[in-house]
Amino acid sequence: MLSALLIAVFGGGALVKAATDPVVDEVYNLPTGPTRDAALALIRSGGRSIGLFERGLLFSFLAAGQPEAAALVLAAKALARAPVDHVNHASKYFLIGTLASVIAALIMSVAARSAVGLPVL
């Protein structure tokens, strides 16, 4: 279980980076101005550390057979990120990053549960 958690948390980070790189490139290609500055500020505002924590929580809840608790994590994150909806690129970045985090945590929790003989969910 521990190795699956580590793969979900840190390996998932590589998946998230690969998924969000096109959005980051779009932001860097925007003309210099307030829109670009706002998007860059939001993207740089601690998304990586939040992502590590998010994947760890999601994996833990899913591996424990508590998908409802994992849904609460996603709902809480959505509420916390609601104020950034006015910046289109930042919204895309957070949405894609969250989806990639969920996929990484889900795949590794299913693999871990099946490896120890538990039903996958």
pLDDT in tens, the chain (121 residues): 999 999 999 999 999 999 999 988 998 898 998 888 888 888 877 778 888 999 999 999 999 999 999 999 999 888 876 665 556 777 888 889 999 999 999 999 999 999 999 998 7
Residue 53 belongs to a domain: yes
Q: Is 16 exposed, middle or buried (0-12, 13-18, 19+ CB in 10 A)?
A: buried
Which stretch of DSSP H or E encloses residue 111? helix 88-115
CA 28-9-62 angle, 5° bins: 120
Q: Structure pTM?
A: 0.86
What is d(CA 100, CA 47) in angstroms, rounded to the nearest whole number? 13
Residue 121 belongs to a domain: no
Residue 70 belongs to a domain: yes
Residue 47 belongs to a domain: yes
**Structural domain harbouring 11:** 2-115
What is d(CA 8, CA 53) in angstroms, rounded to the nearest whole number? 11
> How many domains are contained in the chain?
1
